[in-house]
């Protein structure tokens, strides 16, 4: 089971004059900016009749010829950056270009695509998937191949838009990760939570939306420890090969935990405001972490976070993502002591852990349009949320104050609108895109 968190990525698309015909990807949170001349991109490769893709196509693998055709246009992305940063920047550029060239055309107008993210990068929280969802939905909106979102949109029509965005976001994820599961982009697009099962890549995954997933307040703690999903997956595969009789029951038990969690949160008796309900969910988190640790995908820093939370009787913590570092999530006791919470914060500060207060089970992709702030004085009209304002927003708080979700800005700003697979829905205090998020 995977659930959306309230931290988000946001994308602002700014149209340029007809000349010069450039597209620019700006991602200040990772120190990236790169510009391409539209006319110089490899359109001949992407528009060849044997290669051409359309917005309604299902793409389950990258075309190696098209990947190769992009390489000359990626090699000069951040050439002076460190090897780690250069790889990060070129991965983002690769996802953007593959989507742009697959869906767009040489007649596209020049644009600047500015990304901001409140999600820690490389912490196992699906930041790349969130970014790919932004890119996918923005380009599809530019092509006018998406309808809505709007309050009267039928649920089945909204579901089609979500599916279309998700399919192309998965293509972006393949550019970055090679062989992603698809779960991160699925939950980032649809929001709330999903039960996701993929047997193999020869058949589509089974996705069961959990549309009534309750919003649960969480602590998200970034260890700052880098990790590799591929390394952790390979580690489990090696262990399973060597000790199949032991590892397979562990994997089956993890599956049973997922089923139990689904049954729990979809039960009419579950109430996140009742301590017994929270206790049962927390118990499942704790068991799940123990089984993952037995598979060798925990890390001393993750165990330290769990130790601190356990020792202060504050709640239940587990690793998230592929493990091996990255982040932990913690569900707090409703009666957690304020003094212990303060002590926990002090310990996190001392040991270099970064804490975020977030909510589990939020909305998926949405659109903020028009992207304007209303002035306090009626005669002064409105103020556009332009690229300068977007770039100058400082840190997570600045981004959220300007365009964020659930910041109580409805009197100052139009409401974010979402494609909701649970039926028509607009929440004027919750946001995410053009600004796209």
Residues annotated as catalytic (active site), given as ranges: 184
Q: What is the DSSP string of 196-264?
A: EE-S-TTSPPEEEEETTPPPEEEEEEE------HHHHHHHHHHHHHH-HHHHHHHHHHHHHHHHHHHHH
Does the N-terminal peptide bond of residue 149 adopt cis geometry, omega within 30 degrees of 0?
yes
Strand partners, 360: 5, 216
User: What H or E segment, with its residue span, contains residue 346?
Assistant: helix 338-351
Two tokens at 69? 């055709």
Residue 82, Cβ density class (10 Å: 0-12 exposed, 13-18 middle, ≥19 buried): exposed
Radius of gyration for the alpha carbons in the chain, expressed in angstroms and rounded = 22
Two tokens at 360? 């589990």
Edge to edge, what strands does the sheet with 206-210 contain? Answer: 2-3, 193-197, 206-210
Strand partners, 208: 195
Task: Report helix, strand or coil for 268.
Answer: coil
CA–CA dist 290, 161 (Å, integer): 38
Distance of CA 92 to the CA centre of its chain: 14
Q: What is the DSSP string of 357-418?
A: EEEES----EE--S-EEE-SSGGG-EEE--HHHHHH--HHHHHHHHH-SSSS-TTTBPPPEE
* Main-chain dihedrals φ then ψ at residue 93, nearest 5 degrees: -65, -40
CA–CA dist 144, 139 (Å, integer): 9
Contact 15, 141 (CB under 8 A): no
* Main-chain dihedrals φ then ψ at residue 400, nearest 5 degrees: -65, -35
CA–CA dist 72, 74 (Å, integer): 6
Two tokens at 147? 């309808």
Q: What is the DSSP string of 89-145?
A: HHHHHHHHHHHHHHH--TTPPPEEEEEEE-SPTTSSS-HHHHHHHHHHHHHHHHTT-
């Amino acid at each position: 089971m995977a659930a959306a968190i309230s931290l988000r990525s946001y994308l602002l698309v700014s149209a340029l004059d007809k000349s010069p015909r450039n597209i620019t990807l700006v991602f200040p949170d990772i120190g990236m900016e790169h510009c391409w001349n539209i006319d110089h991109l490899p359109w001949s490769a992407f528009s060849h009749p044997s290669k051409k893709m359309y917005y309604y196509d299902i793409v389950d693998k990258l075309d190696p010829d098209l990947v190769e055709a992009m390489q000359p246009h990626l090699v000069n992305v951040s050439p002076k950056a460190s090897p780690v940063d250069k790889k990060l920047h070129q991965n983002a550029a690769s996802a953007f270009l593959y989507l742009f060239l697959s869906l767009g055309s040489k007649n596209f107008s020049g644009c600047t695509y500015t990304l901001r993210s409140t999600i820690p990068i490389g912490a196992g929280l699906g930041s790349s998937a969130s970014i790919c969802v932004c890119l996918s939905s923005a380009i599809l909106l530019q092509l006018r191949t998406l309808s809505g979102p709007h309050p009267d949109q039928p649920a089945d029509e909204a579901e089609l838009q979500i599916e279309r965005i998700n399919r192309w976001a998965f293509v972006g994820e393949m550019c970055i990760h090679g062989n992603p599961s698809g779960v991160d982009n699925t939950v980032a697009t649809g929001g709330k939570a999903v039960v996701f099962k993929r047997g193999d890549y020869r058949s589509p995954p089974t996705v069961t939306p959990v549309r009534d997933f309750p919003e649960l307040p969480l602590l998200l703690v970034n260890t700052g420890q880098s990790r590799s999903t591929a390394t952790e997956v390979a580690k489990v595969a090696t262990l399973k090969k060597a000790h199949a009789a032991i590892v397979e029951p562990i994997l089956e038990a993890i599956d049973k935990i997922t089923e139990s969690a689904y049954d729990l949160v979809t039960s009419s008796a579950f109430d996140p405001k009742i301590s017994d309900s929270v206790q049962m969910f927390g118990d499942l988190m704790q068991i799940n972490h123990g089984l993952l640790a037995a598979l060798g995908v925990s890390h001393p820093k993750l165990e330290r976070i769990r130790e601190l939370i356990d020792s202060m009787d504050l709640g239940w913590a587990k690793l998230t993502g592929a493990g091996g570092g990255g982040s932990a999530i913690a569900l707090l006791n409703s009666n957690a002591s304020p003094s212990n919470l303060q002590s926990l914060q002090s310990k996190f500060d001392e040991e270099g852990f970064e804490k975020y207060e977030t909510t589990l089970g939020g909305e998926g992709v949405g659109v903020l349009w028009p992207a304007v702030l209303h002035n306090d004085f009626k005669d002064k009209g409105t103020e556009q949320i332009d690229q300068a304002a977007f770039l100058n927003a400082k840190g997570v708080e600045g981004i959220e104050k300007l365009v964020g979700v659930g910041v109580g800005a409805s009197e100052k700003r139009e409401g974010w609108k979402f494609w909701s697979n649970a039926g028509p829905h607009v929440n004027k205090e919750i946001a995410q895109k053009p600004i796209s998020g």
